Structure 1
Amino acid sequence: MKTLCDIYRSPREEEMYLYVDKREGTRRVPEKLLGLFGEPKHLVTLVLTPERKLARAEAARVLSEIRERGYYLQMPPAAESEMSAIAAQNSKLQR
């Protein structure tokens, strides 16, 4: 199944993206989420298929969530320093 998809970036959070069906736009995205996301900045429009390769998401899952919820929210990856701090804390707990 193909979907013409708009991808928006958040002006508030680096590397946070919102995927929506181009025909619906952000109409089905909850107001509270849009408030936290900030004014969506259009990044790109693309044809999304289950087989398409995406950098940090599985296309089939993105399509499924767009159909079910009206959007897919891609969160930023955890920062390297945050992961190091978590690993350090975990190693201290195991001693």
Structure 2
Amino acid sequence: MRCFVYRSSRREQTYVYLAERDAFDSLPAPLRGALGELGFVLELELGPDRKLAREDPAVVRANLAGQGFHIQFPPRVEVSDGE
């Protein structure tokens, strides 16, 4: 499965994977507004053997097939209370 990855201009470390290049209409309008301008980062083949640094490729493929997009949010930061 080929996909296209874009970086959000408003949300640091937030990426959008699209099933079709520049298919921004597949994103709900409120989400498009929250992400701001999306800048193209890369095109990749997302086959069963493909590994991704921060996402489960099977989940990304399922989201692309089901809704046409997948959102990669920044990693959660664990905050210690000093104990």
Q: TM-score range by the shorter chain?
A: 0.7 to 0.9
TM-score by length of 1: 0.78
Segments of 5+ residues of structure 1 without an aligned counterpart are none
Which protein has greater RCO, CA pairs closer than 8 Å, 6+ apart? 2
For residues 8-59 of structure 1, what are the alpha-carbon distances to aligned partners after superposition, in whole Å with 9 as ceiling and x for unaligned?
0011111100001125722211111010011110000111113201010011
Asked if structure 1 preserves the Cα contact closer than 8 Å seen for 2:5 and 2:18, the reply is yes
Unaligned segments of structure 2, at least 5 residues: none
Alpha-carbon separation, structure 2, partners of 1:29 and 1:5? 15
Between Structure 1 and Structure 2, the one with more helix by share is 1
- What is the Cα-based RMSD across aligned positions, in Å? 1.8
Pair 1:70-2:68 in alignment: yes
**Which 4+ residue blocks in structure 1 deviate beyond 4 angstroms?**
none
